Amino acid sequence: MTMTAYRKLLLEIRKAFPPPVSDPMHDGYVVFSLLRALDQVDALKSDSPLLGRPIEPDFAKAALERLAESGETVEKVVPELVQYLEGMLIWGHPRAQVNVIANPSIAGIIGVVLPALFNPNLCSDESGRRFSEVEARVSAMTAALVGYDPEQAGGLFTFGGTGALLYGARIGMEKASPGSLQHGIREPAVILASEQSHYACRNIAGWMGLGYDQVIRVPSHADNAVDIRALTAAAEETVSQGKKIACIVATMGTTDAFGVDDLQAIRRMRDNLVERHGLDYIPHLHADAVIGWAWSVFDDYDFDANPMQFRGRTLRALANVQHRMRWLDLADSIGVDFHKTGYAPYVSTLFLLRSRDDFRYIVRERETMPYLFHSGGHHPGMYSLETTRSAAGPMSALAGLLLFGKQGFRAVLGNAVEMAEQLREQIGSRAELTVLNHLNSGPVTLFRAYPDDVDTFSVKEQEMTDPQFVEQVRFHNAFNRRIFHRVHAEALAGRGVAIGLTENYRHSAYGEPVVALKSYVLSPFADAEQMDSIIEHVLAARDYVLAEMATEQGE
């Protein structure tokens, strides 16, 4: 019998899939293909924090691409894919300190590869099998770590910190206004958060139908923690106006400065509010701890004995964060990003509830999903926003938890903080530079460079408080932007370090944003040499910009 054309092609295409049954030769081909891809990636590495050349994305060219009539072999596809890594920053490189992006561990990467091979869906254990068990296991481990009762807590993995915020606020909305999930939001409600909170608070308010304007952003102190008096006043005004509080967001490690809200005081304020006004609901309290959760590994660390032998300055910084992070168990829900301080690949975010019974507020009717849940007994798809959820998040998270344990996390986080502290010491020794977030104690340092003859001891206070200083602030903002672009260009050329920039570290008392250079240390490969090189390259960029400015003025 003559084989049809499509069957001939199908037999060839089968070679491009992992075999569904044991086949040593075919399995070997899968492994060989992966190794070949890794070899090609390795050829792009150098001393630079970039892979290959500093190639910019060509979106115009990409828009012209169309699907070919015939496909290619795996051997031809692999280099086509690998080329897109060129110009990518290597987040694990000690000279890449742009933002809160961690390099994943080998175990974490394998945690992504394994589910990619067999494609489970965490909608239900009928499609996720024991991968669903992993999600429950990681939820329990994390619950115990942050102080929840793991037998009462529950969690699910979602699409990022924004997703965790959305779950918290949506549950809170249903608590405050029962039936809103079914019938829509029919009474005014707000979300309370710090002015330093993530912009995702406004994003999720918009997507929920509350609207951006219903996020009340409360002032913060100089340490970037929310002003409890201002938060209390905002909550009181909300209740007096007859509005509901859909959610109170405590930011446990702000993205830029690593400010940590006083969660204990926020919880006390919330409970007093309920009692004082006799509210018929309890406003949901969500801890946006996507960065700060990992400091929970220090909750039972002996800071007096200091068995890991951290330097005094580092020890104090770690203790400072742990002192506030230890109250995470007071929140009704917590957002945890393993792809940040858990060293897992994107995306690995856990939304964790102190009481898993709270999922009942967002559960759907089984009749609306007649094609699901015909076997098994664990069905997160009944209450999750997503029907499709990959197992890569919980698997990579579990890999990190098993790989590091408390001691391993203490070592990598301690090193990150120690490197940040060393950088701050170096900045403090230079008259041209000053640290802005000196009251914060995390792995991120925000700092500014100034022209000659600027008193960097007093300039910060003037910039933040004196309205007569607005033109100088704007000039210094522009000056630091130019320094950043020079440092960035040098990094792309394979020289120097890749640091970040924030356009608004804080607003001054008169409303002007303050631009800052940013070093965010997460790489376990970072050491004192790289921190010293930041000073060297920033100062070189400063001199370069000053020379440019002198030339421009001469013209």
Same domain, 180 and 32: no
**DSSP annotation string for 394-453:** HHHHHHHHHHHHHHHHHHHHHHHHHHHHHHHHHHHT-TTEEES-TT--SSEEEEEE--TT
Same domain, 40 and 153: no
Which residue, 356, 389, 423, sits at the end of a domain?
A: 356
Q: Is residue 1 over pLDDT 70? A: no
Other CB atoms closer than 10 Å to residue 72's CB: what's the count?
11
- The contacts of residue 339 (CB under 8 Å, 6+ apart) are 102, 104, 345, 346, 347, 348, 349, 396
Which residue, 40, 67, 83, sits at the end of a domain?
A: 83
Question: Which two tokens mark 500?
Answer: 């970040």
Query: What pairs with residue 444 in β-bridges?
Result: 520
Chain-centroid distance, C-alpha 97: 14
User: Is residue 390 in a domain?
Assistant: no
Same domain, 352 and 418: no
d(CA 133, CA 139) in angstroms, rounded, equals 10
CATH number for the domain that contains residue 185? 3.40.640.10
Same domain, 547 and 426: yes
More confident residue, 373 or 161: 161
Angle formed at CA 232 by CA 231 and CA 238, multiple of 5 degrees: 90
CATH number for the domain that contains residue 542? 3.90.1150.10
The pLDDT-based confidence of 339 (bands split at 50, 70, 90) is very high
Confidence at residue 529, expressed as pLDDT on a 0 to 100 scale? 86
More confident residue, 250 or 94: 250
Angle formed at CA 489 by CA 483 and CA 490, multiple of 5 degrees: 90
Other CB atoms closer than 10 Å to residue 499's CB: what's the count?
25
Q: Is residue 555 over pLDDT 80? A: no
User: Is residue 262 in a domain?
Assistant: yes
Structural domain including 482 reads 412-553
d(CA 109, CA 235) in angstroms, rounded, equals 44
User: Is residue 105 in a domain?
Assistant: no
State the total domains in the chain: 3
Q: What percent of the chain has pLDDT over 90?
A: 85
Q: Is residue 219 over pLDDT 70? A: yes
The pLDDT-based confidence of 384 (bands split at 50, 70, 90) is very high
| Burial of residue 311, with CB atoms counted within 10 A of its CB: 0-12 exposed, 13-18 middle, 19 or more buried | middle
Same domain, 225 and 321: yes
DSSP structure class, residue 103: P
Rounded to two decimals, the pTM is 0.94
18-27, 160-169, 449-458, 531-540: which is most confident:
160-169
Closest CA to 496 of 102, 57, 51, 50: 50
Which residue, 44, 59, 83, sits at the end of a domain?
A: 83
d(CA 89, CA 169) in angstroms, rounded, equals 34
Of 97-101, 311-315, 425-429, minimum mean pLDDT range? 97-101
Same domain, 435 and 306: no
Confidence at residue 462, expressed as pLDDT on a 0 to 100 scale? 92
Confidence at residue 348, expressed as pLDDT on a 0 to 100 scale? 97
The pLDDT-based confidence of 46 (bands split at 50, 70, 90) is confident
Closest CA to 230 of 266, 200, 183: 266
3-state SS, residue 288:
strand
More confident residue, 381 or 223: 223
Mean pLDDT along residues 483-507? 89
Same domain, 316 and 416: no
Mean pLDDT along residues 79-88? 94
User: Is residue 373 in a domain?
Assistant: no
Dihedral sign of CA atoms 422, 418, 495, 490 in order = negative
User: Is residue 380 in a domain?
Assistant: no
- The contacts of residue 3 (CB under 8 Å, 6+ apart) are none
Q: Is residue 367 over pLDDT 90? A: no
User: Is residue 287 in a domain?
Assistant: yes
The pLDDT-based confidence of 370 (bands split at 50, 70, 90) is low
Same domain, 348 and 421: no
Same domain, 343 and 479: no
The pLDDT-based confidence of 372 (bands split at 50, 70, 90) is confident
User: Is residue 531 in a domain?
Assistant: yes
User: Is residue 135 within a helix (H) or strand (E), and if so which, with residue range?
Assistant: helix 130-146
Instruction: Output the average pLDDT for the chain.
Output: 94
DSSP structure class, residue 389: -
Same domain, 452 and 532: yes
- The contacts of residue 44 (CB under 8 Å, 6+ apart) are 51, 52, 82, 85, 86
Q: Is residue 492 over pLDDT 90? A: no
User: Is residue 136 in a domain?
Assistant: no
Same domain, 78 and 201: no
- The contacts of residue 276 (CB under 8 Å, 6+ apart) are none
Same domain, 340 and 451: no
